[in-house]
Amino acid sequence: MQTAAHHSINFYLHGSCRRGSTETCGWMKNGNTSQSQLSQRHKLVRRVENSQSLVNFNRTRFFLDPNKNRVFPISKAMTDDGHLSSISVPEDIVAPNNTPNQEPVFSKWTPPGYLWRGLSVFVLAGQVIVRIVNRKIHWKNTLQQLERVGPKSVGVCLLTSAFVGMAFTIQFVREFTRLGLNRAVGGVLALAFVRELSPVITSIIVAGRIGSAFAAELGTMQVSEQIDTLRVLGTDPVDYLVTPRVIASCLALPFLTLICFTVGMASSALLADGVYGISINIILDSAQRALRPWDIISAMIKSQVFGLIISVVSCGWGVTTLGGAKGVGESTTSAVVLSLVGIFIADFVLSYCFFQGAGDSLKNL
C-alpha cells in the first residue's frame, strides 16, 4: 500500500504573543523597530491564526480485499485531533489494479531429468569430438584408462565368449547334422560370431564392468564437488576426465572383439571335435571359406561405435548426478541400462546398413 506525506510549515509563537493577549510582545517593545517591520509581522501573525482554523483535511482511505487482491478507495475525513485512523493516500496516487496477473507459459515448467540428461550426453559427445580434433588429449589419463578397459577386461570377456561359443555350437551341430551339412557348421558359426555375437557380447561385458565404473566414479566426484574443484584449478573436466575414457573405450573394444571371436571359434571347434565327431580342420576350413574382409571390418566399426556409446552415456550420466549416494546408485544403474539399449539399437542400424540384400557367403561351402 502506498502512502503520501503532506508537508506543512508550523509556526510556534511565544505564549505572550497569543491571540487575545493584552501584554505586548518582547519584539514589539523594541522602540527602534520600524513601522514597516511591525506591519509585516502583524500580517504574519494573522496568517498563522487563520491557518489554525483549518482543522479538517479531506483524505481518502483505501481498503485491501485479500480475496480479490484489489484496493478499494473509502472516503473519510481526519479525526478531530488531526490524526488519521488508518494509512491514507490521495486518489490520484493509487488506483485499483483491475488487470489480472498473467504468468509466462513456461514459467512453472521444469524439463524432466531424463530429457536434459539425454541432451547433455549429445553435448558431451560433441565436446569430446572437438577436443580430439584439436588434439586436447591428456595422454597419461588416456593410457591409464586404456589399461583398465583393455587388459583388465580380457579375462571376463574370454570366459564369456568361450561358453557362448560352445552353447551355439551345440544348437548348430545338432540341427546341421540332421540335414547332412556338417561342413557348413564352421562357416555359420564364424559369420554369427564375427558379425553379431562377438561385438555385442564384448560390449555388454564392457558396459557392465567399465560403464558402471565410469558412471559411479564421475557421479561420486560430482556430488563431492571434486569436478568443481578441477574447474577452480583451471582444469577442464572434459579434457581431464571424459575424453581419456572415451578414447580408451573406442580403442580397446575392437581388440577385445577380435580376441573374443578367436576364443569363441576355438571353443566351438574343440567341442564339435570332442563331442560330435566333427574334425577341427573341417570347422576351420569352413570358417575360412565363409569369411570376407568386410566382415572383420564391420565388426571393428561396430565395436568402436559401441565403445563410444558406453563411454559417453556413462560419463554423461556421471557428471549430471544429483542427490548424494542415492543419486550415484541411480545414475550407475541408469547408465548401464541405457548403454545396453543403445548398443542393441545401434547394432540393428549398423547391421541393416552393412548387410543389405541376399548374402553369398555360404555358397562356396
Q: What does pLDDT average to over the chain?
A: 77
pLDDT band at 120 (very low <50, low <70, confident <90, very high): confident
- Burial status of residue 101 (CB atoms within 10 A of its CB: 0-12, 13-18, 19 or more): exposed
Query: Which pLDDT does position 262 carry in this prediction?
Result: 92
27-84 pLDDT per residue, tens: 444 444 455 655 665 665 566 555 554 444 444 555 555 555 555 555 444 455 545 4
State the residue for C-alpha cell 567341442. Answer: 271
Q: Is 80 exceeded by the pLDDT of residue 107?
A: no
Q: Are the beta carbons of 309 and 188 closer than 8 angstroms?
A: no
For the cut 60, the answer to whether the pLDDT of residue 310 exceeds it is yes
Task: State pLDDT tens for residues 203-216.
Answer: 999 999 999 999 99
Q: Decide: 138 and 241 in contact? Cβ < 8 Å.
A: no
User: How far is Cα 153 from Cα 145, in angstroms, rounded to an integer?
Assistant: 11
Of 248, 246, 301, the residue nearest 130 (C-alpha): 246
Enter the C-alpha cell of residue 150.
583393455
Q: Which amino acid is at 335?
A: A
Domain boundaries, the chain: 1-20+33-98, 113-354
Among 131, 128, 127, 117, smallest CA distance to 215 is for 117
CA angle 309, 135, 251 (to 5 degrees): 40
pLDDT, position 135: 85
What's the rounded mean pLDDT across residues 302-321? Answer: 93
Q: What is the DSSP letter of 211?
A: I
Report which of 81, 11, 15 is spatially closest to residue 46, judged by C-alpha positions.
11
Give me the phi and psi of 77, to 5 degrees please: -85, 170
pLDDT, average across residues 89-99? 49
Q: Taking residues 297-304, what's their average pLDDT?
A: 93
pLDDT at residue 360, rounded to an integer = 63
- Look at residue 356 and give its three-state secondary structure: coil
* Side-chain half-sphere CA neighbours of 31 within 13 A: 0
**pLDDT, position 185:** 85
List the grid coordinates of 26.
518582547
pLDDT in tens, 256-296: 999 999 999 999 989 988 888 888 888 888 888 888 888 89
Q: Tell whether the model's pLDDT for residue 12 goes beyond 60.
A: no
Q: What percentage of the chain exceeds 70 in pLDDT?
A: 67
Mean pLDDT of 234-252: 91
Cell of 324: 548424494
Q: How confident is the model at residue 14 (pLDDT cuts 50, 70, 90)?
A: very low
Q: Provide the pLDDT for residue 67.
A: 54
pLDDT band at 87 (very low <50, low <70, confident <90, very high): very low
- Residues with Cβ within 8 Å of 196's Cβ and at least 6 positions away in sequence, in order, are 347, 351
| List of residues 6+ apart from 296 with CB closer than 8 A | 194, 258
The interaxial angle of helices 243-275 and 293-319, nearest 10 deg, is: 130
